[in-house]
Amino acid sequence: MKALTLLSLLGCLITANKAKIFSRCELAYMLHEEGLDGYEGYSLANWICMAFFESGFNSAAEDDNADGSTDYGIFQINSRVWCNNYRSPTENLCHIPCTDLLSNDITDDIVCAKRIVQDPQGMDAWEDWTMHCKGRDLSEWVDGCDL
């Protein structure tokens, strides 16, 4: 009986931390609530566009890079500078384990993204944002989201 209870509890914990693929408007609402609309001069549409091209709105996205670093989470935050993956050298400027960026709770991803965009590069730190979003009409990314 105790083993069954323990297995049930373990299953609940795993489910609670399971990664998630957000819908466009669901992510827009969450980022709006967390104060990203207008943060450091970037509209909410910029953040949504960037997240789409970086991760496809997938909170568990993980991508290895040629330099040995890895990009993590919905914003593809890099381990070389921003988080600690405990495998490669890091500055860990967000003071966070990279694995924390892979859950469906993206609060820590947002806090770290806010830190990243404060640097002189701003959103140019995200190559996919520069290629796909920068300088474009991005209104479609928040259209119909009822914010």
Hey, what CATH class is 18-141 in?
mainly alpha
Catalytic residue (choose from 26, 33, 62, 71): 71
Is 40 designated active site?
no
Q: Give me the percent of the chain exceeding a pLDDT of 90.
A: 86
The residues that bridge with 84 in the sheet, in sequence order, are: 97
pTM summary value:
0.87
Spacing of C-alpha 21 from chain mean position: 11
137: pLDDT strictly greater than 60: yes
pLDDT (tens digit per residue) in 87-109: 989 999 999 999 999 999 999 99
30: pLDDT strictly greater than 70: yes
Catalytic residue (choose from 37, 54, 62, 109): 54
Residue 135 main-chain phi, psi, to 5 deg: 75, 10
Residues 6+ apart with CB under 8 A from 124: 130, 134
CA distance 116 to 114: 5
Q: Give me the percent of the chain exceeding a pLDDT of 70.
A: 88
Which runs of E-coded beta strand occur in 57-128? 62-64, 70-72, 77-78
What is the pLDDT averaged over residues 69-93?
Answer: 96
pLDDT-derived band at 17, boundaries 50, 70, 90: low
Residue type, 145: C
The dihedral built from the CA positions of residue 123, 125, 131 and 132, taken in this order, carries a sign that is negative
- Tell me what pLDDT residue 19 has: 81
Is 33 designated active site?
no
pLDDT (tens digit per residue) in 35-53: 999 999 999 999 999 999 9
The helix-helix angle for 44-55 and 24-33 (nearest 10°) equals: 130
Q: Give the start-to-end residue ranges of the domains of the chain.
A: 18-141
Closest CA to 126 of 62, 55, 44: 55
Question: Of residues 17 and 83, which shows the higher confidence score?
Answer: 83
CB atoms closer than 10 angstroms to residue 120: 6
Instruction: Give yes or no for a contact between 77 and 54, defined as CB atoms under 8 angstroms apart.
Output: no
12: pLDDT strictly greater than 70: no
Three-class secondary structure of residue 52 per DSSP:
helix
